[in-house]
Amino acid sequence: MTTTLAGKVALVTGGSRGLGAAIAKRLAHDGAAVALTYTSSPQKADEVVRDIEAAGGKALAIRADSADVEAVKQAVAETVHTFGRLDILVNNAGVLAIAPIDQFSIEEFDRLVAVNIKGVFVATQEAVRHMGEGGRIIMIGSVNSDVAPFAGVSIYALTKGAIASFTRGLARDLGPRGITVNNIQPGPIDTDMNPAEGDFAEGMKKTIAIGRYGQGNEVAGMVSYLASPEAAFVTGASLKIDGGLTA
């Protein structure tokens, strides 16, 4: 473990697996106490907590569907109650649905908006009530807010475009309080939901300048930087980590 984030407390939404788990572990490695939310993977969430604690860190898993406003509010409250403060919020929880616009159901649309936009708003609103100078809001957006490399991604892109705009506005709102707000925009990252092997992945790799999917720890490293004191002058930015997909 390092001490870059010693004394800090972080909340990572959707932190039980994939990219969220990598982020939670990295922040803990850098010295932060970490709370993470999960929806349907309690065993995975417990594994992340055990891994962090085994390495000498502090962690807490909280069941909270990011589409549930009261659950999100309670997750922030429980984090503060357990660890005494909140310094870093990573809005990682998100859902993806792909379909042509004339086949996209209202139910799927509502779910994407509820998790990818409203859930981010609620978590952020609650978190900043506990943050002081040096606070960090870090969004996990997507390169799809800037580029749609295949058909059917329009609604997902809509939600991630909203996050990019939200980031810029929040940077103005929270800058006077010494709180930074930034948006990380990953390209294809090797996770259970988007594995680096298979027919779809092989096609995507041809569009990536370095010819491979990214790894969760690579995105987690960018999160760690933005959470650190070194990034105090970085705010309102949307930073791509996509292997040159959008180059």
Which pLDDT tens digit goes with each residue over 189-223?
998 878 898 778 998 999 999 999 999 999 999 99
Range of the domain at 52: 9-189+217-239
pTM: 0.97
**132-153: average pLDDT:** 95
pLDDT confidence band for 102 (50 / 70 / 90): very high
Max alpha carbon distance in the chain (Å)? 51
122: enclosing H helix or E strand:
helix 119-128
Q: Sign of the C-alpha dihedral, residues 21, 32, 166, 213?
A: negative
pLDDT of residue 127: 98
Active site residue 156: yes
Share of the chain above pLDDT 90, in %: 92
pLDDT of residue 198: 78
Q: Is 157 left (phi over 0), alpha (psi -120 to 50) or beta?
A: alpha
Which stretches does DSSP call E strand in 39-94?
59-63, 88-91
Q: Is the pLDDT of residue 117 over 90?
A: yes
- Catalytic residue selected from 38, 156, 213, 225: 156
- Residue 146 placed within a domain: yes
- Mean pLDDT of all residues in the chain? 96
- Residue 199 placed within a domain: no
- Residue 209 placed within a domain: no
pLDDT of residue 225: 98
- Can you give the CATH number for the domain in which 110 is found? 3.40.50.720
Share of the chain above pLDDT 70, in %: 100
CA distance 135 to 228: 10
pLDDT confidence band for 239 (50 / 70 / 90): very high
Structure tokens at 195: 């594995």
Count the domains in the chain: 1
Worst-scoring range by mean pLDDT, 52-66, 72-86, 166-180, 190-204? 190-204
Q: Is the pLDDT of residue 180 over 90?
A: yes
Q: Comparing 193 with 154, which gets the higher pLDDT? A: 154
**111-133: average pLDDT:** 98
**22-50: average pLDDT:** 97
CA distance 233 to 142: 22
Q: What pairs with residue 183 in β-bridges?
A: 139, 238
- Residue 205 placed within a domain: no
Closest Cα partner for 87 from 31, 46, 48, 22? 31
- Residue 1 placed within a domain: no
At residue 218, the 3 state secondary structure works out as: helix
Cα three-residue angle 144-150-151, rounded to 5 degrees: 105
pLDDT of residue 150: 87
- Residue 17 placed within a domain: yes
pLDDT confidence band for 236 (50 / 70 / 90): very high
Q: Is the pLDDT of residue 1 over 80?
A: no
93: Cβ–Cβ under 8 A, 6 or more apart, which residues?
13, 14, 20, 37, 39, 66, 115, 119
On whether the CB atoms of residues 204 and 229 are closer than 8 A, the answer is: no
At residue 48, the 3 state secondary structure works out as: helix
- Residue 167 placed within a domain: yes
Residue in this structure with the two tokens 């475009």, named with its chain if needed: 161
- Residue 78 placed within a domain: yes
**41-68: average pLDDT:** 97
On whether the CB atoms of residues 11 and 36 are closer than 8 A, the answer is: yes
Structure tokens at 100: 């042509």
